[in-house]
Amino acid sequence: DQTLIIVGSEFGRTPSVENSAAVKVQNGRDHTPYGFTTLMAGGGIKGGTVYGSTDDFGFRAAEKPAHVHDVHATALHLMGLDHTRLTYRYSGRDFRLTDVAGNVLREILV
C-alpha cells in the first residue's frame, strides 16, 4: 500500500502497420499520442480498475481521456502533495510539474 508503481511511455503505437510505397517495405507500427496505456498499481490505486477507452479501432482515446498531467497530478496526490501548490512564476507565466493543467483521477483511487 505504500509503493506506487507506474509503467508508461510518452507515446502509444498505431493499431495498424505502416507501409512505405517508396521502398516497398513495412515500417512497423508508428508512434501515436492519441491513445495509449499507462499502468498504475499499489500505493492507493484501486485494483482491477480500467479508466477510459479507445475508439473501436484502438487509435484515439474515446471515453474519459486522461492527459499525462492527470497521471502526474494523481501520483503527486498519492504522495501527499497538492500539485496546484507547486506553482512558480517565471517570465509572466505560471509553471508547475503538471503544467497549468492536471486533475487527480479520483475514480481510480481506493
What DSSP letter does each residue of 17-83 carry, written as one string?
A: -EEETTTTEEEEPPEESSS---EEEETTBPTT----EE-TTSSSEEES---HHHHHHHHHHHTT--G
- Write out the chain's pLDDT in tens, 110 residues: 789 999 998 888 888 887 777 766 667 788 888 888 999 999 999 999 999 999 998 889 999 999 999 999 999 999 999 998 888 899 999 888 888 789 999 999 99
Give the pTM: 0.82
Q: Where are the domains of the chain?
A: 4-108
